[in-house]
Copies of this chain bind each other. A is one copy, B any other.
Amino acid sequence: MGGSDLFVGTLDVLILKAVSQGRMHGYAIGRWIRQTTKDALNVQEGALYPALHRLERKGLLEEDWGVSETGREAKYYKITAAGRRRLRAEAARWKEYADAVTLALAAGEA
């Protein structure tokens, strides 16, 4: 199993990062997140697919149908220029935020 709940707001940046690595379909994005985090994060499909539609609507991703590695129909996503900009911004925001929280949680320790 493994995989705690998401901290709301981190899913988008993870998706953008995944797709920035190369054209990828939805199901594979979920798998990518699970694998690159060594099972620490398991994204529910009920969160994943709406997020993809959201990002597409915002013009951060582009979709087109194709055939997956296993020979099935699959909707592939590609990151747009705006998506790449957003990824940079959100990744920076995440880093700043994570450092801040980690700093706070370390307060009062030798």
Instruction: Give the bracket for the number of chain A residues in contact with chain B.
Output: 20 to 34
Binding site for B on A (CB under 8 A): 4-5, 7-10, 13-14, 17-18, 20-21, 33, 36-38, 40-41, 91, 93-105, 107-108
Contact A10:B108 (CB < 8 A) given known A4-B93, A93-B4, A96-B40: no
Question: What is the oligomeric copy number?
Answer: 2
Classify the secondary structure of A's interface with B. helix
In the bound complex, residues from chain B placing their C-beta under 8 Å from that of A96 are 4, 40
Do residues B7 and A97 form an inter-chain contact, with CB atoms below 8 A? yes
Q: Which of B14, B17, B98, B108 contacts A98 (CB 8 A)?
A: B98
Q: Are B4 and A104 closer than 8 Å at their CB atoms?
A: no
